[in-house]
């Protein structure tokens, strides 16, 4: 905003706006609330704006209130014709008109959408940038088979970011991999409802369910011989798949489950297919191994 020809009060208002709004907007999302003391709807809207923006402060959202009676020049610059008027500014530019958001849910939805699209830098984003490499390291340790060390790393990450779904879920999967299934189940039960529904946690739940089903078999070769001689013993075939999983042989388990699905996909309410899908989810749906097994499953189901 140019200050040439402005009164001292207007220049002061412009400088304050630059300092308190434009400069912070280089990294934060600033919500501008144009209001007036005499405006009833403004007063009704204010508590909601203050509550939601306070909740989003760690995400880099800042509320700035502009009294249009005291800052007529600013109101004119933004072409405010009616109040309340609520805008969002990022990097010195207006990026959204939030005036239509009259409920907490509506405002949260609009803020969430902008935060996904804009490189806003808040404490939460900074923490996420710090945490993600650590999560990747813990996941690699877990993939390498050192579940106990992975648990230790995930524990440290959770201390830093107690609500990080990926870290919480990774810790649960590490507990499962280390054989601490009861502790994993307790960890899932202790999660808040919104975190318990996260996709990462759903994968961890599948890992726990798979571990419950994958029970070690004392003599795996003997069970395999029994299954070969008695292919109609579907219970034994499912037990064999569980034993193969418990022994860490996912290829053999997948072969056993796929063969069972090919023979009778509906047996025991589709138990073999459900077991195989759990294995896919635990391994990771983007994993090349899963992609190959899914092609085999599709050939059976639709071939």
On the question of a cis peptide bond just before residue 239, with omega within 30 degrees of 0, the verdict is no
What is the rounded distance in angstroms from the CA atom of residue 216 to the CA atom of residue 212? 10
Tokens at residue 277, please?
């899908």
* 283 tagged catalytic: no
Say what the alpha-carbon torsion angle 129, 132, 137, 142 is, to the nearest 10 degrees. 170
In the residue annotation, 39 being an active-site residue is answered as: yes
Q: Number of helices (H) and strands (E), helices first, in the chain? A: 15, 4
Main-chain phi, psi angles of 63, to 5 degrees: -100, 130
* Burial class of residue 246, CB neighbours in 10 A (0-12, 13-18, 19+): middle
Looking at 14, 30, 39, 254, which residue is catalytic?
39
* SS3 category, 13: helix
d(CA 224, CA 230): 10
CB atoms within 10 A of CB 56: 22
Active-site hit among 30, 42, 184, 290: 42
Active-site positions read: 39, 42
């Amino acid at each position: 905003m140019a200050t040439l020809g402005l009164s001292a009060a207007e220049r002061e208002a412009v400088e304050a706006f630059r300092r308190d709004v434009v400069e912070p907007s280089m990294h934060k999302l600033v919500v501008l609330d144009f209001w007036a003391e005499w405006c009833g709807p403004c007063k009704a809207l204010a508590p909601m704006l203050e509550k939601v923006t306070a909740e989003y402060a760690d995400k880099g959202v800042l509320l700035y209130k502009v009294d249009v009676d005291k800052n007529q020049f600013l109101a004119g610059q933004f072409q405010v014709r009616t109040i309340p008027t609520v805008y969002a500014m990022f990097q010195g530019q207006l990026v959204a008109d939030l005036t239509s958001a009259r409920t907490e849910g509506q405002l949260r939805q609009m803020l969430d959408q902008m935060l996904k699209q804009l490189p806003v830098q808040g404490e939460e984003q900074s923490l996420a940038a710090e945490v993600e490499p650590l999560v990747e390291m813990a996941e690699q340790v877990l993939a390498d088979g050192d579940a106990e060390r992975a648990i230790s790393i995930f524990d440290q990450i959770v201390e830093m970011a107690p609500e990080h779904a990926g870290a919480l879920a990774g810790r649960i999967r590490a507990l499962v991999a280390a054989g601490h299934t009861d502790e994993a189940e307790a960890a899932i039960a202790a999660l808040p409802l919104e975190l318990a529904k996260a996709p990462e946690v759903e994968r961890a739940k599948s890992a726990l369910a798979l571990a419950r089903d994958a029970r070690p078999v004392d003599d795996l070769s003997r069970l395999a011989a029994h299954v070969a001689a008695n292919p109609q013993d579907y219970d034994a075939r499912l037990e064999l798949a569980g034993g193969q999983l418990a022994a860490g042989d996912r290829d053999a388990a997948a072969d056993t489950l796929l063969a069972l699905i090919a023979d009778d996909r509906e047996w025991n309410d589709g138990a073999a297919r459900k077991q195989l899908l759990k294995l896919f989810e635990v391994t990771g749906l983007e994993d090349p191994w899963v992609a190959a097994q899914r092609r085999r499953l599709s050939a059976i189901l639709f071939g």
